[in-house]
A and B are shown apart, each in its own frame.
Chain A
């Protein structure tokens, strides 16, 4: 087994030899190697996070017809390091009346809730933190810790804007958890397992986005809401709440929230691509070398991240009652119906040839989406007729 085929195994065996040579027992050495692996993954993620700041700023400037950071280093690449130095030397302020322990714990939990997600991300067929058989649920559980960190930040800051922001954000996160959890069951049905590794392997014949395009779309919407990004950025609505739940945080504590949000967006982009776009699968490239597989995963995650940024910088904020009504009255019933339809079609089409399975699933998804849109259109037309004095949109636009 060479280094190029299974790098982690080779390094782990090599380290095990060294550690046992030092007289450490084998179990202790295994634990130590596990810790080193986690340290390596987390360090790489944090370095990636630094460059995500640059990517985010560059992409937003392109969307807004600007150039973006271009002064420090080639293409402004050194800019995030300058930002980090600035964040580190800023005064660290704890507001009067703040609950100190909870206040300091919140940014750590926020970052942690993102980093623990990477434990289940399959980077290559042989490179995988842990193949949990409940991987899909684990994503939601990590999101629960993120929700907790936001309410802790909002409450402990002793600031009314922070509290309002936290209330809104948590309301959004709690409600959009439901369609997300429901949609996560759809790849589970296809793969027959909740493990993320098994879900990636099950996409050998067809990416799940071809089987369930509507599920992929709902997952993206729920993911953006979980992230608290525009158009769902009620929690930090700048024009209303200054900065929302993180308003009192300064220096690197704010940096933790900010970096956590960027990495969270990148991670959900990654999960979107893993659950629906085949993960490390790309025309057999993953069989060539695990390093190519990692490159494919990162590329797909960046594409997912780009889509999330595209939505963020194109759409405007939705009012909170509209957003919650959209979730409870449209998205949640739709995802329940979709789950039932997919489960039924899966039982019906199991054992049929692949083209029939894929096209049957695809068409049933399109049908569910079309019916849902028709119902929504009819309902909103009825609602509009009830409101007096409101002219049709087309007419007012021409006057």
Chain B
């Protein structure tokens, strides 16, 4: 086994273990912290795949913004942060069945795949992935339309959030 494979296995196990803790721990803030650990594991896997931009953006957006907002929301909404109710509902067998079926389907699909034994192509040092990504996102032949649509969607979400929070009677949300 190469060093890269060992790193991947350790990180993947850590990510899966944290993901399991997210859904099993009873303390909601702990669940959010385990989620951060999971997201960080995904960032490390991006880094292992030489996708440095995605790795850093994963940390900035998911850990720096979304997970912190989760923690904020959890702290602001509940007095007792321990969940006392049952952790499974009566449809648990359906979820388990779907998970097993999905796993089985993926397993049988990937059994015939020849990519397992291939080694990854070496990226030449002159190849700047960030540059390529930027060009692809802004060139008309690339992904400029999906990129712009996503931006419009985010702006709409932003305007919506401001509208929901805005109180027209006082005219100013600070008063």
Contacts and interface: CB of A to CB of B under 8 A. Distances in A.
B68 A148 contact: yes
Contacts of B65: 144, 174
Contact of B64 (A27, A134, A140, A321): A140
Nearest to B174: A321
Interface string A74-116: 0000000000000000000000000100100000000000000
A145 B75 CA distance: 19
Nearest to A142: B59
A133 interface: yes
Contact of B130 (A31, A133, A155): A133
B68 A138 contact: no
A170 B72 contact: yes
Interface string A317-328: 000010001000
A138 B75 contact: no
Contact of B52 (A134, A143, A152, A174): A134
Nearest to A141: B59
B68 A141 contact: no
Contacts of A193: 128, 130-131
Nearest to A132: B52
B71 A151 contact: yes
B33 interface: yes
Given A151-B68, A155-B75, A134 B63 contact: no
B64 A141 contact: yes
Nearest to B71: A151
Given A102-B33, A148-B68, A134 B56 contact: yes
B29 interface: yes
Interface string B64-107: 11011001100100000000000000000000000000000000
Given A27-B3, A133-B130, A174-B68, A141 B56 contact: yes
Given A134-B52, A137-B57, A141-B56, A155 B71 contact: yes
B143 interface: no
A267 interface: no
A379 B72 CA distance: 32
Question: Could you say which interface size class chain B belongs to?
Answer: 20 to 34
Given A133-B128, A155-B71, A144 B29 contact: no
A193 B128 CA distance: 9
A177 B131 CA distance: 23
Nearest to A171: B72
B60 A140 contact: yes
A241 B60 CA distance: 29
Interface residues of A, number: 29
A365 interface: no
A147 interface: yes
A133 B134 CA distance: 13
Interface in A123-175: 132-134, 137-138, 140-141, 143-145, 147-148, 151-152, 155, 163, 167, 170, 174
Contact of A144 (B33, B53, B64, B174): B64
Q: What is the interface of chain B mostly: helix, strand, loop, or mixed?
A: helix
A194 interface: yes
Contacts of A143: 64
Interface string B20-60: 00000000011001001000000000000000110011011
Contacts of A141: 56, 59-60, 63-64
B144 interface: no
Given A133-B128, A141-B56, A163 B64 contact: no
A181 B64 CA distance: 12
Contacts of B153: none
A148 B63 contact: yes
Contacts of B68: 144, 147-148, 151, 170, 174
Contacts of B157: none
B134 to A, nearest CB: 10
Nearest to B130: A133
Contacts of B174: 321, 325
B75 A148 contact: no
B64 A147 contact: yes
Nearest to B75: A155
A148 B56 contact: no
Nearest to B2: A27
B13 interface: no
Contacts of A177: 64
B63 A137 contact: no
Contacts of B156: none
B71 A138 contact: no
A137 B64 contact: no
Contacts of A194: 130
B129 interface: yes
Nearest to B62: A144
19 contacts: A99-B29, A102-B29, A102-B33, A133-B53, A133-B128, A133-B130, A137-B53, A137-B60, A140-B56, A140-B64, A141-B56, A141-B63, A144-B60, A144-B63, A144-B65, A145-B59, A155-B71, A181-B60, A193-B128
Interface of A: 27, 31, 99, 102, 132-134, 137-138, 140-141, 143-145, 147-148, 151-152, 155, 163, 167, 170, 174, 177, 181, 193-194, 321, 325
